[in-house]
Structure 1
Amino acid sequence: MLAAPIHRLERRTTLTAIAATILAALATVSCTNGSSPANTSAACAAPGVSPHEIRVGLIYPDSGPISGELEAARSGADARFGLVNAAGGINGRKITYTWQDDNSSTSGNGTAVRSLFESSSVFGLLEASINADGGADYLRSNQIPAVGLPITNVWSDPSYTTMFSYPSLITGGPVSDVVGRYVREHGGHRAIVVTTETASGVQGFDPPLAKSFAEAQVPTTTVPYNSAVTSPAEFVHRLPTDADVLVLALGPNDVLPIDAAVNAAGNRFKVVVAIAGSGDATIQKYGSSVAGLTTFSTLVPFRANLPAQQDYLRAVASYAPELQPATQEVAYGTYIAADILVQGLMAAGACPTRTGFINALRGMQNYNAEGMLAGKVDFTKTHQAINCLIFTRVNDAGTAFDVVPDTVPGAPSQTEWCGTGT
């Protein structure tokens, strides 16, 4: 049976907010509910595989400074594994897991990875940690498959060929001109990128953003911000006057006050785009004072109401009812990561091996989690380029984040904005 769920999830944290706050602080497949034909008689020699079970490892921080921000990850895993198990599992084998706490630290992550594979019999790994680099060399050296939430750079490092995730700007992978194209289509010609003086992790967003703007021929100027020294109103007053785009590469605790100050000062910018701040909490606390704030993600928002998203919500209600609200992005992203693991196991055959799993996933193209991801993932490539994003904007009344359609003639999708490639 799956481990008992936890019952203390009340945060509404986005993946970009985690990176910004803490580092300042998936052949075509789908998220199917069914399983491969039952085959419980096969005796397999792979670790973690028995006639009735495939046991995997789960690592996330149950303690330490990031634990509260990532606790929803376990609910996402419970929802996806519960869904596939209810449909008969993988070739008649149910997915179970043994979990380890990495204590929100790199050393703790390395210890947790080694413990799972040396003390427990597990097949592979599902991971939701900002310290996944701690155990990455062990996984690579032992050719152990791992799937994870893309919130640390190791998931986009092409040298770690046994590690799989979906694209995310957080990981610092290659980015097309999509962000720059978005601002140009909305009249922007020159951008100010605001970053923090005190957190190099947030500044990790700068290179991919700068590249995206450069490829779209939008010049940028970087301006540092320190909330301990300068108030939002003072900072906005001092911003250079030769730019019509404001990019806030900051955590939500800084993004929202600055954007509210921009609006209070008359908002001279044609576009204000932020890497964090999307979610119900922004609307509830700031409302119309942040009207026009634009955010972006590789995850399709729930207002799209896709069948796959409805499956997700039903799975949460059945197998992770402690998750409130059910739409938390950490859980949503982990559910998709868990689905990548499910798809790899389904493709690995009746008697899965670690090598078979890795090769099967490396043969997959055009994965988009039944539409829940912007663009498609090509796992034949050892790094995932970001070519498509979903942009959402606070409406004028400040009552919701609305999806911004791509209305350019010939656009392949009106909900996804895509660039020209990397």
Structure 2
Amino acid sequence: MSRRTIRTIAAAGALLLAATACNSASTSSGDGDKGSSARGVSADSIKVGGIVSMTTASGYSKKDTDLGAKARYDRANAEGGINGRKIDYLGAEDDGQDGGKNMAAARKLVQQEKVFAVSPMSSTTFSGADFLEKQKVPTFGWGTLPSFCGQNKFLYGFNGCLVPMPGGTITQSWPEGLAHVLGGAKGKSVAIIANDNEPGKFSIRTYQQGFKTAGFKVTYAKANVPTTTAPSDWSAYTKALLRSNGGKAPDAIVSVMQTPYNIGLFTALKRAGYKGVLTDPTDYDPALLAKDATKQALDGVHVLLAFEPFESTSPSMKQFKEDIKKAAGKDVPLNMHMMTGYMSADLFLSIAEKAGKDLTVESFQKAADGFSDTGTMVGDRALPKGQREAFGCGALVQLKDGKYAVSSPFKCYEPIPFK
């Protein structure tokens, strides 16, 4: 079929979606007469969209990921854009943490909105990954999903790949940070629990190996908590956890779950008399302190961060806080979702800048291959290494008496081989 025939059909509207779906990311999308042959790129703008779980069945929301991305794009535009082009950020589609909606959002952004890139993508489901990869859409998000690791050339975790394939590596920031809190891993025991879904099962496999390598005794490692809604009765889980260490409680309990689940589990554990260390990777959010019940449930919990804590006084953190305030129009409580959006956008912008004035998927991917920088809020970044392993940096903060304090400083650790 000739290009003229395709245009005729598209103009008639008969096969618009089919024709768009068949086009590659570097095929003209109507912007070619404005100075670029890349979809979503004109002489003066780069079109970018996002996919974020803003609403979920459990009530957990990542909506501030969108604000974080906007804050970073706003600053880039205020500084003159990327090689003379402003970022036309469309905002994020809400996938409701639903696989079907995630795919629909990906298709909408590519086929209807004709974006050059998707950044951020933050959800526990990523059914649109294969579609975005096939359409050659550079996509940036939190590398907690297998799609951001391994063979996908166009998908990037803002802090690297956190769930590697065999042959890759595992970041040791959580085990080593917890060892710092406990005064060492030797003779210490941990129990790990996660949701009963693919990310949960993969997390168990990853962290079980990581904590063992760090010197911990892993007494329990199961992805067995339903994902639809948080259980109303946690007794079965607390009994199993508190008896996992030869009939005794482990020194630490590691929850690889979202906030509503952590609140329920930690409350039940405390009521059962557990005095050990509680830790998770999600509950770094000052907004959680607004409710006494939530604040009480999470009091004492050590939260894993894959970025500099907000308590840092570095120039980068100062800039981040200023950018968020400008984008929000006021002072707002900071949270990790803002950082996810901000650093996803930052990595995209950094690669796009390196790609130069002639921005195409090909020039972008060439810039990504061999990209590196140092001293960012997620540590030293390097590609394509970051598509196989994490950047390896992290910290722990503890919620205590209504505020967060650093319990293990931000540091980069040597990763271990994933088997």
Coarse TM-score class (shorter-chain normalised):
0.7 to 0.9
Which of 64, 68, 88 aligns to 1:76? It is 68
Shift of 1:257: 5.7
In the alignment, which residue of structure 2 is the partner of 1:8?
A: none
Give 1:353 shift. Answer: 0.9
Q: Is the contact made by 1:168 and 1:298 (CA closer than 8 Å) also made in structure 2?
A: no
Residue identity in the other structure for 2:256: A
Shift of 1:236: 7.3
Question: What per-residue deviation string (whole Å, max 9, x for no partner) do you get for residues 154-191 of structure 1?
Answer: 112x1111111223786567424443334444244242
Higher relative CO (Cα under 8 Å, sequence separation at least 6) belongs to 1
Spell out, residue by residue over 1:139-162, the C-alpha distance to the aligned partner (whole angstroms, 9 max, x if none). 222322222233533112x11111
Aligned amino acid, residue 132 of structure 2: L
Hey, what does 2:20 align to over in structure 1? none
Say if 1:202 and 1:323 are closer, same or farther in 2 by CA, change over 3 A.
farther
1:140 pairs with 2:148:
no
Tell me what 1:400 maps to: 403
Query: How much does 1:349 deviate?
Result: 0.7
Aligned residue identity for 2:342: Y
**Counterpart secondary structure, 1:98:** strand
Structure 1 distance, partners of 2:49, 2:373, is: 26
8 Å contact kept, 2:254–2:279: yes
Is 1:333 the counterpart of 2:337 in the alignment?
no
Q: Which has the higher strand share?
A: 2
The whole-number CA distance in structure 2 between the counterparts of 1:112 and 1:73 is 16
Q: Could you tell me which residue of structure 2 aligns to residue 324 of structure 1?
A: 332
Identical residues among aligned pairs (%): 20
Taking the TM superposition and a 5 Å limit, the aligned residue runs for 1:148-167 are 148-156=141-149, 158-167=150-159
Q: Identify the residue that residue 195 of structure 1 maps to in structure 2.
A: 193
Q: Cα 1:194–1:44, aligned 2, differ >3 Å: closer, same or farther?
A: closer
- 1:195-238 CA-to-partner distances (Å, cap 9, x unmatched) read 25756644442112111112123221116676525189867765
CA distance in 1, matches of 2:125, 2:268: 37
| Structure 1 counterpart of 2:410, one-letter code | T
Residues 69 and 266 of structure 1, relative CA distance in 2, 3 Å threshold: closer
Query: 1:123 Cα shift?
Result: 1.9
**Matched residue type, 1:310:** K
Distance in 2 separating the partners of 1:49 and 1:194:
45
- Which amino acid counterpart does residue 404 of structure 2 have in structure 1? F
Q: Does 1:280 align with 2:286?
A: yes
Describe the SS at the equivalent of 1:300: coil
Partner of 2:100: 107
1:347 corresponds, among 354, 358, 373, to: 354
Pairing 1:388–2:388 present: no
Aligned with 1:88: secondary structure? coil
Inter-partner Cα distance in structure 2 for 1:337 and 1:321: 21
For the Cα contact (< 8 Å) 1:191–1:247, is it kept in 2? no
Contact 1:148 / 1:165 at 8 angstroms: preserved in 2?
yes
Structure 1 unmatched runs, 5+ = 1-40, 406-413
Write out per-residue CA displacement over residues 262-302 of structure 1, whole angstroms, 9 at most, x where no aligned residue.
Answer: 66777553x43333433335555366776543221102111
- Once the two structures are overlaid, the 10-residue window that deviates more, 231-240 or 196-205, is 231-240
Amino acid at match of 2:66: R
TM-score with structure 1 setting the length: 0.74
Match of 2:248 in 1: 241
Distance in structure 1 (CA, Å) of the matches to 2:353 and 2:160:
25
Contact (CA 8 Å) 1:172, 1:205: kept in 2 or not?
no
1:416 counterpart SS class = strand
> Within 5 Å, which residues of 2 pair with 1:51-70?
51-61=43-53, 65=57, 69-70=61-62
Deviation at 1:96, TM superposition (A): 0.2
